[in-house]
Structure 1
Amino acid sequence: METVTPNFKKERPRYFFKEWRKHRGLTQEELASRIGVSASSVSQLENGKQGFTDSTLEAYAWALGCNPGDLLMRNPLEENAMWSIWEDAMKADPARQQQIVDYARFLLGKAS
């Protein structure tokens, strides 16, 4: 019988700092300047070599025009993601927004 050795090495969580920076069209230097840190710190954070605090997360979110949770859970470069459609819909005028909601409800079988 073959013995299997478990792998207890923790994998790093996947965050989206780099993707949000690219989504906003910023270089590491430009983002660093907005936050008041070095470009090296931005690079280390993006590559998972440096951790972050709540205040760091809030500073990045402010500088990138998103919510802190977005940096942890949403890849802005993912095409056709539901949240990106939502963001586009929120930019529409109120009448168009209502049309979008009505159509989505219809497609989901929840038309009123």
Structure 2
Amino acid sequence: MQIEPIAPPSSGPPARDHAHLRRVSQELEAAFLAEMLKHAGIGTGRNGLGGGGAGEDQFASLLRTEHAALLTERGGIGLAESIFRALLAREPTPAETPR
């Protein structure tokens, strides 16, 4: 049986989990990309003859949203990383947080 050494207690505050900030950054990038895809005409009908109406527009919106989310998951355009770094810079340091 091998015994794992016990890690010494850290002298500083615990490291913050930034997963929430990263997720929010990716959601913002996905929303931006969905709007860009909408304005680029992605998901809109090719002709105005007998389209699917309001239902088609709603489902096209869902498709654009999903495409944007997948683009973001695969690296996106780098906007999520910029947003993440900006949010991280605005986060108070442990010394600034009230106790």
Instruction: Tell me whether the two structures share a fold, i.e. TM-score over 0.5.
Output: no
TM-score by length of 1: 0.24
The structure with the largest alpha-carbon Rg is 2
TM-score by length of 2: 0.26
Question: Larger RCO: Structure 1 or Structure 2 (Cα < 8 Å, ≥ 6 residues apart)?
Answer: 2
